[in-house]
Amino acid sequence: MSRLVPLLACLAVLSAPPAAAAPRAEILDTKVICVQEGRYIGWPTVCRTRDGRLVAAFSGDRDQHVCPFGKSQIITSTDNGATWGAPVTVNNTPLDDRDTGIVETAQGTLVLTWFTSLAFERDEKYARHAEKVTPELRRDGLGYWTRRSADGGVTWEDAVRMQGTSPHGSIALRDGRLLSVGKVGGGEMALVAESSVDDARSWQVIGTVPIPAGEQQKHYHEPHVAELPDGALVAMFRYQPEDKEDHVMRQSESRDGGRTWTVTHSTGIWGYPPHLLPLKEGPLVVVYGRRKAPFSERACVSTDGGATWDTAHELTLCEAVNSDLGYPASVQLDNGTILTVYYQDPGPDQNTCLWATRWRLVME
């Protein structure tokens, strides 16, 4: 029997499945892609168009993190992110235009997403500006919005309202629809799935995302959604209760095109907000900001469609000097590399700017 036990142990080792490959980020380059001297910019999204351009959208020409002067702006690259053009303003409403998303539809239409805010009213130095906000502007101007461009961003149609907000906007599904998972604010807080079947000319709420008993809608923010190769949808949420140590992102799934969703559950990933990208090779990657030491832009990998996340091997894409950072978003280029855009401070006594890291996911 003493000889049999070691033999059985050896057989068990031989028959055990191989350990899952650990992910590694091979950083190819990191650089600043947009600076506005003396101004604050942030919260970007990036998409790749059918003609090979990269379009990054963001809130720019600002005084600071909260101010009345935010504009929705875009920059474009025609060489896979090596160089970028000057910012072009799409929205400049009398309110603060924030959190700009961008996507290209199956028809080749660019769809810009953003929301307007009056949070600057709490800052006394903007009191005179706040006095100019009429009841009509408050009623008609506040909200969550999209705009369409059928000519690659040269001209833009009038704004269309949405019910929920998402910092990175909607995604284009394989069936031709657009889908967004967003948060409805105010007194009717909810997490909603909205769909467009007419190329972003209109939006309809098709589902809601349930949360567990004991959690509160007010702690859920800034979702993003991805479509997997089998048609399943994975949505992830910034989760921000009073206890900072519990700022662990939540997740929900849908298998009927966004009409019904599983109850949200913890991912084990500390950080926010999420941007999900299914890679051509199979893994699902989420990028997010880490706003506690060590401050950084992070990524985490799932090899089973979001069922589990390899939190033991979080990837650091770029370190930062403080917590004013994040909102990363990614695209995969033709050669398989990933380009992730985000915002952060370049150093002390400087304003935030847009950065990009080009990297490759290596499974070892």
Average pLDDT over all residues of the chain: 93
Please tell me the total number of residues recorded for the chain in this structure.
364
Mean pLDDT for the stretch of residues 318-340: 97
Confidence check: pLDDT of 7 > 50: no
Confidence check: pLDDT of 2 > 50: no
Mean pLDDT for the stretch of residues 218-227: 98
The predicted pLDDT at position 4 comes to 37
What percentage of the chain reaches a pLDDT higher than 90? 91
The predicted pLDDT at position 188 comes to 83
The predicted pLDDT at position 15 comes to 40
Question: What are the pLDDT digits (tens) for 20-46?
Answer: 689 999 999 999 999 999 999 999 999
Domains, the chain, in order of start with CATH, read 22-363 (2.120.10.10)
d(CA 85, CA 94): 26
Question: How open is the CA angle 71-72-75, to the nearest 5 degrees?
Answer: 120
Question: What are the pLDDT digits (tens) for 173-189?
Answer: 999 999 999 999 887 89
Confidence check: pLDDT of 121 > 50: yes
Confidence check: pLDDT of 352 > 60: yes
d(CA 25, CA 317): 7
Question: How open is the CA angle 316-79-87, to the nearest 5 degrees?
Answer: 80
Q: How confident is the model at residue 119 (pLDDT cuts 50, 70, 90)?
A: very high
- SS3 annotation, 286-313: EEEEECCCCCEEEEEEECCCCCCCCHHH
Question: What are the pLDDT digits (tens) for 69-78?
Answer: 999 999 999 9
d(CA 78, CA 346): 25
Stated as kind and residue range, the H or E segment containing 317 is strand 315-319
Give the residue among 135, 95, 138, 133 at the shortest CA–CA distance from 117: 95
The predicted pLDDT at position 178 comes to 98
Confidence check: pLDDT of 224 > 90: yes
**How far apart, in Å, are the Cα atoms of 324 and each of 205, 345, 357?**
33, 7, 17
Confidence check: pLDDT of 12 > 80: no
* Residue 165 DSSP one-character state: B
The predicted pLDDT at position 187 comes to 79
Confidence check: pLDDT of 11 > 60: no
Question: What are the pLDDT digits (tens) for 248-307?
Answer: 999 999 999 999 999 999 999 999 999 999 999 889 999 999 999 999 999 999 999 999
Confidence check: pLDDT of 138 > 60: yes
The predicted pLDDT at position 20 comes to 63
Assigned token pair, 272:
């926010």
The pTM score is 0.93
The predicted pLDDT at position 135 comes to 95
| Pick from 153-162, 203-212, 343-352: least confident | 343-352
The predicted pLDDT at position 281 comes to 84
- How many beta carbons lie within 10 A of that of residue 214, not counting itself? 5
Confidence check: pLDDT of 313 > 80: yes
The predicted pLDDT at position 53 comes to 97
The predicted pLDDT at position 10 comes to 35
Instruction: Kindly give the residue spans of alpha helices, DSSP state H, lying in the chain.
Output: 4-15, 127-131, 135-141
- How many beta carbons lie within 10 A of that of residue 189, not counting itself? 13
Tell me what percent of the chain is helix, strand and coil, each rounded to the nearest 5.
Answer: 10, 45, 40
